Amino acid sequence: MKQIPDEAAERVLGMIREAMDMDAQGKTGEAAQFFKPLVDEFPETSIVHSYMAWILSRGGKHREAIEHGRVAVQLSPESEMSSMMLFRVLWSAGEHMQALDEMKRLSAYGRSEEYERMMQEWNEGKPVEEPKDGVEE
């Protein structure tokens, strides 16, 4: 995976936060358009594709969301964050078996605290929280 150059990292993280804020304000379509230049500028960076997938999914553009989620996972196959984003967009699209397959795929790389937490909440009947708007990778 190509990382975001140090000189651009703060700008990129700021744009991700701004897009997530727009989404939280119900401006999901605007957030996707706002985010597109980041995907164009950093096409080989998984975090950019992961968040684009999330925003597209929130806007009901599930096929596009899944495409970006898959790119993110291809770029960073061991990334728990990218895997979780793909899982969530697949689940939102009604592709439950593919989502569970993604969970299994990541387990080949080791333990996933996020998937374990999610499964524990499911087993206890608690709602699963949406991803935090903080930027993680």
* Domains delineated in the chain: 6-124 (1.25.40.10)
Here the tokens at position 40 are: 């164009």
d(CA 134, CA 131): 8
Q: Dihedral sign, CA of 49, 14, 32, 95?
A: positive
Which pLDDT belongs to residue 124?
81
The per-residue pLDDT for 130 is 56
Query: Would you give per-residue pLDDT tens digits along the chain (137 residues)?
Result: 457 888 888 999 899 999 999 999 999 999 999 889 999 999 999 999 999 999 999 999 999 999 999 999 999 999 999 999 999 999 999 999 999 999 999 988 888 888 888 888 878 876 555 555 555 44
Identify residue 2 by its one-letter amino acid code. K
